[in-house]
Structure 1
Amino acid sequence: MARATTTSDVYNAVAEPQRRRILALLRTGQKAASEIADALALAPSPTSKHLRVLRQVGLVSVREDGRHRHYTLNAQPLREVHAWTGGFEQFWSENFDRLEAYVEELGHLEDDHATD
């Protein structure tokens, strides 16, 4: 069963690829909504919807300047996501270590067959 979409969940917010692209753009500094739309080749309406979700979960803040809205990254809510994904680091590290040992073992077997 699919999860219900919620805008109060940072995990759902960053699950959407376009929103991750927006966050990546904002890592370099504040951007106007129009700059974000242009950089991602998105129409203003979907850009606005994505920015609204990111704002609702606290990942971006907005500063209004006349008719323009400027967005800034707030990475603080990503700490929870980072902590959760960091828990898998040991899992991947151990798997890569096993893979490396296996590849080395195959290399030794090939060397042994080459000298026969």
Structure 2
Amino acid sequence: MAKTPLGVMILGIIHILIGALMFAGAGLLGPLTDWIISPIVLSIANASTIIAIFYIILGICLILMMTWAWYVGIAFAIINVLFSVLGFPSIQWITLIINLLIIFYLNSRGIRRRFSV
């Protein structure tokens, strides 16, 4: 197995942390099920849990340099760029810049070669 580049390792760890935080946030709604009147809130918690698990899996697979994780990482970054821009007139500049940097980094020749894409 090839050594994981530092930038990809950092991206993987960030994805794992995001997933863990989302998982913890969704878990906070669990004790409130008796108080919650709207089932929409519970479905948001369920969706958040599923997305959190997917983020954790993506982070692990980025660290393991799996090819599909490169594609999903690019797709997530593009989706985040679109959401940042669609928030006009209050564009989320920091999110936009970070995700553009992720796209450029993952598309660099050396990283693409390491992921075999």
TM-score (norm 2): 0.23
Choose between structure 1 and 2: higher helix proportion: 2
Choose between structure 1 and 2: higher strand proportion: 1
**RCO higher in 1 or 2 (8 Å CA, sep ≥ 6)?**
2
> Which has the higher Rg, Structure 1 or Structure 2?
1
TM-score (norm 1): 0.23
